[in-house]
Structure 1
Amino acid sequence: MVNRDLVAAKLAELDDRIARIRAKCPATSALLSTDRDALDLVSFNLMLAVQSCSDIASHLIADEGWPAANHLAACFNRLRDEGVLSATTAASLGRAVGLRNVVAHGDSGINPAMVHAAATQGARDLEAFAREVAVWLAQRHSP
């Protein structure tokens, strides 16, 4: 059985990360590229937001007894297959794992334009993830 309190706490953490991303992201990628502190803060909070989504996905998969996914992006496909996420949201979060990995591992530096796009357009995907999980949980696991 899904631990609703754990999922609620992770969803609240995700909401906080999205708010931090929006608060620190300048209007353009050019501005973001000239402000290293903002770039670091936005990148870090994006990484943690995607990690929160991954943690929620892993928790749902384990607690529901669904087959384990063999990598982070596959977790979102599993949720799609089980009717938790839409295909669009699963694909978006699967791509977001790539950015998470770049930030987490410092691979080839951070691309400010990519971070800006993730912070502006990608934040909507993170919100869609939260909404879809909350709706699924409410429909499937009503108290």
Structure 2
Amino acid sequence: MVRAEVAGQKIAKAEAWLRDVEELLAATPETLLEDARRADLAAFYLFLAIQEAIDLAAHWIADAGWPPADDEGSTFDVLADRGGITPELASGMRAIVRVRNRIAHGYASVDHQRIRAEAPAGIATLRELFAAVAAASRA
């Protein structure tokens, strides 16, 4: 279980970034293509929100005394294996970690249209994780 104060702070920060991502990506595809700063900022804020999710999951694992995961994506498998989240949510989080990796390791060549297309499902998955973390922190 993640300590409530840690969970609350991290979730609030991540939610603020997700709202910014949604606002920035609400632009038309043409605007996104023409405004590199907007597109880069949306990708960066999404990256930051995903990082908070990974960090929350790592805190949850550490606070519960479970063995650490091998990598960011498998962090969510540990939570699913221990009953903290569903296997479906773990799978969705592994997918959003792949988006994070594309942003982190190929920033100059990030496909902003692909991020725009994948963002709604990814944001919903992140919010599902945040709800699970919040519930666990109150337990």
Superposition deviation, residue 27 in structure 1: 4.6
Name whichever of 25-34 and 59-68 sits farther off: 25-34
Aligned residues: 139
Q: Give 1:19's aligned residue.
A: 19
1:111 paired with 2:114, answer no
Which amino acid in structure 1 is aligned with residue 71 of structure 2?
A: H
Q: Deviations over 1:61-118 (max 9, x none)?
A: 1111111100000001111112221222211111111111121222671112221023
Which amino acid in structure 2 is aligned with residue 80 of structure 1?
A: A
Q: Give 1:53's aligned residue.
A: 53
TM-score normalised to structure 2 length = 0.89
For the Cα contact (< 8 Å) 1:102–1:108, is it kept in 2?
no
Which amino acid in structure 1 is aligned with residue 112 of structure 2?
A: P
1:14-93 map, 5 Å: 14-93=14-93
For the Cα contact (< 8 Å) 2:7–2:56, is it kept in 1?
yes
Tell me, in whole angstroms, the C-alpha distance in 2 between the residues paired with 1:107 and 1:32.
Answer: 16
Structure 2: where are the runs of 5+ without partners?
none
Name whichever of 108-117 and 63-72 sits farther off: 108-117
Which amino acid in structure 2 is aligned with residue 46 of structure 1?
A: L
Q: 1:92 to 1:29 in 2, by over 3 A?
A: farther
For the Cα contact (< 8 Å) 1:26–1:32, is it kept in 2?
no
Tell me, in whole angstroms, the C-alpha distance in 2 between the residues paired with 1:66 and 1:57.
Answer: 11
Instruction: Report percent identity of matched pairs.
Output: 30
Q: 1:73 to 1:29 in 2, by over 3 A?
A: farther
1:125-140 map, 5 Å: 125-138=125-138, 140=139
Tell me, in whole angstroms, the C-alpha distance in 2 between the residues paired with 1:111 and 1:2.
Answer: 34
Structure 1: where are the runs of 5+ without partners?
none
Q: Give 1:121's aligned residue.
A: 121
Tell me, in whole angstroms, the C-alpha distance in 2 between the residues paired with 1:30 and 1:90.
Answer: 33
TM-score normalised to structure 1 length = 0.87
More helix by share: 2
